[in-house]
Structure 1
Amino acid sequence: MASGFCSLGLNVTSLLSSHALARLVVLPTLRWRSSSISMSPRLCISRALSAATSPVSSSFTWDDVIETGRAEYAPRNSSDLTGFLEKVDRCNRGSEKLAEFIPFVIEEQIVGYIHKGFFTEYLREFHGIFTFAHNGSFPDRVGGYVTLNLMFQKPEDRTRAVADVIKILGDKGIIPGIRNELYPVKSSFNAPVLFSLERAAAPFFGLKGYGVHMNGYVKKDGQKSLWIGKRSLAKPTYPGMLDHLVAGGLPHGISCGENLVKECEEEAGISKTIADRAIAVGAVSYMDIDQYCFKRDVLFCYDLELPEDFVPQNQDGEVESFKLIPVAQVANVIRETSFFKANCSLVITDFLFRHGFIKPEQLGYLDLYRRLRNGDCS
C-alpha cells in the first residue's frame, strides 16, 4: 500500500483535468490572520505538533555501546534478523494514516502530501499563495489537493512566495528548527526543480527528500571496523544519538558527490583527496508518517575505506565524538538497541548485506533486503 501511495507522484494528469485547473481561484494578496489562527478550536493542537517534531535524545555512553556490541551480550539468536526488521519498521511508520494526507501539486505533478486536518488549516490563511482544489477522488471538506497560485509561474517566484509563508510559520513555532537551507522541490530525483523550500518545512509538505550517507570503515588484521559518530547534545534533532561517520541532506544546487566531499570535511575532517575515493553503492528508502509530518526519503549510500591511522576530527560542532567499532559489534548495537538515529540503521544494515555480515541462511533475509527500499526510489 505504501508503494502504491507514493507512485501517485509519477503521473497526475487524470487528477488535474483542465476543468479542475479552470476552477483554481487566483487571489494575489498575502494575508495572515493571526487572531483567527489562535482562536480556532480546531488548531489548539500545537502541543501535539511539538511532540511530533521534538528531538529524540539519549543519555547512553560509549561504554554502553561497547558493552552492547559484545557478542555475548546479545540475547537473540544470531540467525534471527528480527531486531533489524524492527529498525526498518521504525522508519516506515504510519501507513494506516495515508488517508489523512492530500497531494501537494505543482505543474500537474504530485510533489508532496499535506495533512488535511492540521497543516492545511494554516496554509488556508495565505489566500494569495496556496489554492485548494476539489476533486471527486477526494470527497472531503478540505478538498482534493493543494497547489500554488497560478500567478507564480517561475521557480524563483514560487521560492520567494513560499519562503514568506515559512518565515511566518517558523516565527509562530508551527515549523520548528528553521535551518535556512533550501531543498529542491521536484516529483523525482531527475525531474526539473519546480521551486526550493526550507529544509525544516519539507516533512510538513511531504516532499521527497534526498541525502548522502557514508560508511567509513577500516580493515585491519582481517577485521572490518566502522567509524561511528555520536551526535552533539546541542543538535536540534536526535541529540546524543549514534550516526554515520558522514551524512547529510542534499540541498538545492549541489550534486551527491560534491555534497559528500563537503560533508566529509565538515563532519569528520576528511580531505577531498581521501573523500574522492568513496564508492557509491546504491540507495535505501523509507516513508514515515509521524502525526502531521510525512517523510519520504531516499538515502544515497557510500562506502569509504580509510587508512588504519586515520582519526576523524569534527569541524562543525555537530559531532560530540567518534569511535572505531568492529562491524559485528555495530550490528549487535543496531539489532539490540535504539542508540542509532533511525535512518542510519537502514544504511548500516545495507552495509551488512554487502559485506557479508548478513547471510541468506538467516531467517528473514529476503524480507529485510526488500524492506530496506520500502519507499519510492525515484
Structure 2
Amino acid sequence: MSFIDKIRACNAWRPADFIPFVLEGQQLGWVRRSAAEHLRRWPNAFAIIGDRIVWSDSSLDFSARSQVLDEVCAWLAEAGITGPLTGERYPFTATTREQACCTIDRACAPFFGARAFGQHLNGYVRTAQGIELWVGRRSADRRHYPLHLDNLVAGGLPYGLGLKENLRKECAEEAGIPRELADRAIPVGAITYCRDSETGFKPDVMYCYDLELPQGFVPSCQDGEVESFQRLTLAEVAELVRDTDAFKLNCNLTIIDFLIRHGFIAPDEPDYLELVRGLRSPLP
C-alpha cells in the first residue's frame, strides 16, 4: 500500500451511478440511481425528470423544506435504507454552509449526496526527538469504524454552530481539551473528497486544524466515543497510514496533509504532486 492509495480510496465513485438532485436549477446533491425510486413516494415534493430529480415545489421556504426532508428521512431510516436518525442537523447546500436551503439529518445526508462539513484536529507535541502526534482509538460501539484509530479531535459541523464554537465543543467532549487550550488551534486549510458509501454519496469538506499541546497534557475522552489515546512519532503514524488500514478512512487524509505541511513527506516522495492535488478534490 501507499499514501496515494488512501487518497484514491476516499475518492472512489462513478458519476454514472448517480443522478443530480436539483432545486430551482441548482444542483444540491447526487442520488444513487437505484435509490431514486424511493422518492416517488412524495410526488408533491419530487419529480424524476429524465436523468435528474427535481424538488418540484419551489414555493417552500427554509423551514418547510426541512420539514419535508424530516418526513423523508424518518421513512428512509425506518425502512433501513439509511442508518438511524441522529438528530444532528446538517446544512443542505450547493455551496457554503451559510447558503443552505434547508437542513437534513446527518444520517441521511449521503442518501441525497449532500455536501457535509466537519472539523479535524491534529494534536501534537514537540520533543527532543521531533514531533509526536496524539491519536485516539474509537470505541468498540461506534457504528462506523469501531476500534479504528482517529485524529485527536474530529467531528461533524452541525447547522447553527460556528466553527470556533463547534471546535471547542468537540475538543472538550472527545479529548478533554479546555477552552483556553482549544482556542490555540490553528486553522490550516480544508480537505475535500468525494466517495461512494454504503448509504449514498459523500462529497465532504473537512476543515483542518493543528494544535501544539504541552508535554504534560494527556487527553481524556468525555463522551465515550474514544476508547484510548496514544502518542506516536511521525514515523510510526506515517507507517500506519501508508501500510495498514488502522485509521478511519478519511483521517488518513488529514494526517497525510499534516505530514506534508511539516516536511515529513517531502517532494522526493513518489506521487508527491498527486498527493497534494488529491487532498483537494473538486466537489461536484
Mapped to 1, the partners of 2:198 and 2:154 lie a distance apart of: 25
Of 206, 231, 234 in structure 2, the residue corresponding to residue 324 of structure 1 is 231
Equivalent pair of 2:92/2:103 in contact (CA under 8 Å) = yes
TM-score scaled by structure 1? 0.73
Q: 1:86 corresponds to which residue?
A: 5
Say yes or no: does 1:132 pair with 2:48: yes
Q: 1:185 corresponds to which residue?
A: 92
Shift of the 292–236 alpha-carbon distance from structure 1 to 2, 3 Å rule, reads closer
Q: Secondary structure at the match of 1:346?
A: helix
- Structure 1 residue 131: deviation in Å? 2.1
- Structure 1 residue 151: deviation in Å? 5.8
Equivalent pair of 1:182/1:198 in contact (CA under 8 Å) = yes
Aligned length: 284
- Structure 1 residue 222: deviation in Å? 4.3
Say yes or no: does 1:351 pair with 2:258: yes
TM-score scaled by structure 2? 0.96
Q: 1:223 corresponds to which residue?
A: 130
4+ long deviations beyond 3 Å: none
Of 13, 26, 49 in structure 2, the residue corresponding to residue 109 of structure 1 is 26
Equivalent pair of 2:193/2:280 in contact (CA under 8 Å) = yes
Q: Which runs of 5+ in 1 are unaligned?
A: 1-81, 134-142
Alignment of 1:23-102 (within 5 A): 83-94=2-13, 97-102=14-19
Mapped to 1, the partners of 2:83 and 2:208 lie a distance apart of: 28
Question: RMSD over aligned Cα, in angstroms?
Answer: 1.5
Q: Which has the higher strand share?
A: 2
Mapped to 1, the partners of 2:218 and 2:138 lie a distance apart of: 17
Mapped to 2, the partners of 1:311 and 1:258 lie a distance apart of: 22
Equivalent pair of 1:177/1:236 in contact (CA under 8 Å) = no
Equivalent pair of 2:135/2:229 in contact (CA under 8 Å) = yes
Q: Secondary structure at the match of 2:123?
A: strand
Mapped to 2, the partners of 1:186 and 1:303 lie a distance apart of: 27
Equivalent pair of 1:214/1:302 in contact (CA under 8 Å) = yes
Mapped to 1, the partners of 2:279 and 2:270 lie a distance apart of: 16
Shift of the 273–191 alpha-carbon distance from structure 1 to 2, 3 Å rule, reads closer
Mapped to 2, the partners of 1:265 and 1:275 lie a distance apart of: 8
Q: Secondary structure at the match of 1:374?
A: coil
Mapped to 2, the partners of 1:157 and 1:364 lie a distance apart of: 48
Mapped to 2, the partners of 1:87 and 1:177 lie a distance apart of: 28
Mapped to 1, the partners of 2:46 and 2:128 lie a distance apart of: 60
Mapped to 2, the partners of 1:291 and 1:326 lie a distance apart of: 33
Of 269, 286, 299 in structure 1, the residue corresponding to residue 193 of structure 2 is 286
Mapped to 2, the partners of 1:375 and 1:313 lie a distance apart of: 36
Q: 2:209 corresponds to which residue?
A: 302
Q: Secondary structure at the match of 1:342?
A: coil
Identity value in percent? 44
Equivalent pair of 1:106/1:194 in contact (CA under 8 Å) = no
Cα shift readout 1:94-131 (whole Å, capped 9, x = no counterpart) = 2xx21121111123211101112x21111111222222
Shift of the 127–298 alpha-carbon distance from structure 1 to 2, 3 Å rule, reads same
Amino acid at match of 1:113: W
Q: Secondary structure at the match of 1:112?
A: strand
Shift of the 100–266 alpha-carbon distance from structure 1 to 2, 3 Å rule, reads same
Mapped to 1, the partners of 2:142 and 2:262 lie a distance apart of: 31
- Structure 1 residue 301: deviation in Å? 0.6
Mapped to 2, the partners of 1:275 and 1:152 lie a distance apart of: 43
Higher Cα radius of gyration: 1
Q: 1:42 corresponds to which residue?
A: none
Q: Which runs of 5+ in 2 are unaligned?
A: none
